Amino acid sequence: MTMVRTPPPPPLPVRDKAAEREWNRAALSPMLTRLAEERATGILVREHGTLHLAEGLVVHAESPLAPGLGRLLTAHGTLAAATWRQAADRAGDAPGAARLLLGAGQLRPGALELCHLGAVYDAGYFALAPSSAPGRFRYGPVSAPAALRPVPVTALERETLRRRLLLHRLWPDPATDSAPLIRADPASAPPVTPRQRAVLARVDGVRTAAGIARELGRPAFHTLVDIRRLAAAGLLAPDPAVPAPPPHPPPPPPVTDPDIALLKRLRDALEAL
């Protein structure tokens, strides 16, 4: 009888508890914290998304890695796609389109508020991700429907940290968040939920988590949760032909030299101009 030797499975990624503690202690964006304290109004542009502030509160958020407000509203029949497109063309941006639709009675305030809060926390998670470039803040008026509830910066940061830790504990390898995904075929496949089955059906070696979320019309973070659970179950993996993203950089050490601290404050002030 011929024996077929199966290569051992790759080692599981290790959950770094020290890194979790550092995430809890580190400020996600010192600039955002300062802008909230001074009750600034304008747009904070970061590498992976933008945050719109009105008097220091987050009233809108966008990220190329998360479906926008319009997609969330139109994906499951809350609003007709053509109606949203017409309003967005007239208003020029998502908050303005929402304001027009509310005023015309074409969108219920409750449905809009649920989608708006989901979009803010979803895009805000990516906007506050570690970045390789400093943020820039543009002071000026921002568009936001008065009926929508703004989100305090502290609430957005707290939820972002909670989501980051949740993903880390589900499956600590972040490569599945951004790389094209491929199906795996374990010897004993565990059962999956209907939500996870819909995600698996779109894994084709080309789509990323962001693409799957946009196609399904679901918040990107919820899709990441499904993807990391599927990765932990051995049902999908990042394409090995695509380089893995770099790990999250550690938080910088605290600044104790008063001259260096002053220079950093001056740098932040110049970036905010």
Contacts of 79 by beta carbon, 8 Å cutoff, 6+ apart: 73, 101, 106, 107, 111
The CB density around residue 159, as the number of other CB atoms within 10 Å, is: 17
Average pLDDT over residues 108-118: 91
Residue 67 confidence (pLDDT) above 80: yes
Task: Taking residues 46-67, report their average pLDDT.
Answer: 96
d(CA 37, CA 161): 20
Work out the mean pLDDT of the chain and round it to a whole number: 84
pLDDT value at 263 more than 60: no
Of the candidate ranges 4-8, 112-116, 181-185, 216-220, the one whose mean pLDDT is the lowest = 4-8
Q: Which residue has the higher pLDDT, 245 or 29?
A: 29
Residue 89 has pLDDT above 70, yes or no: yes
Helix (H, G, I), strand (E, B) or coil at 79: coil
Give the orientation angle of helix 94-103 with respect to helix 81-91, to 10 degrees. Answer: 110
* Residue 1 confidence (pLDDT): 39
Query: What separation in angstroms does the CA of 217 have from each of 61, 162, 198, 211, 263?
Result: 17, 23, 12, 10, 44
The answer to whether 171 touches 231, Cβ cutoff 8 Å, is: yes
Q: How far is the C-alpha of 153 from the C-alpha of 147, rounded, in Å?
A: 19
How much is the pTM? 0.80
Q: What is the predicted pLDDT for the residue at 38?
A: 97
For the cut 70, the answer to whether the pLDDT of residue 250 exceeds it is no
pLDDT in tens, 149-199: 899 999 999 999 999 999 999 999 999 999 999 998 877 778 999 999 999
Task: Report whether pLDDT(4) > 60.
Answer: no
Range among 16-25, 135-144, 251-260 with highest mean pLDDT value: 135-144
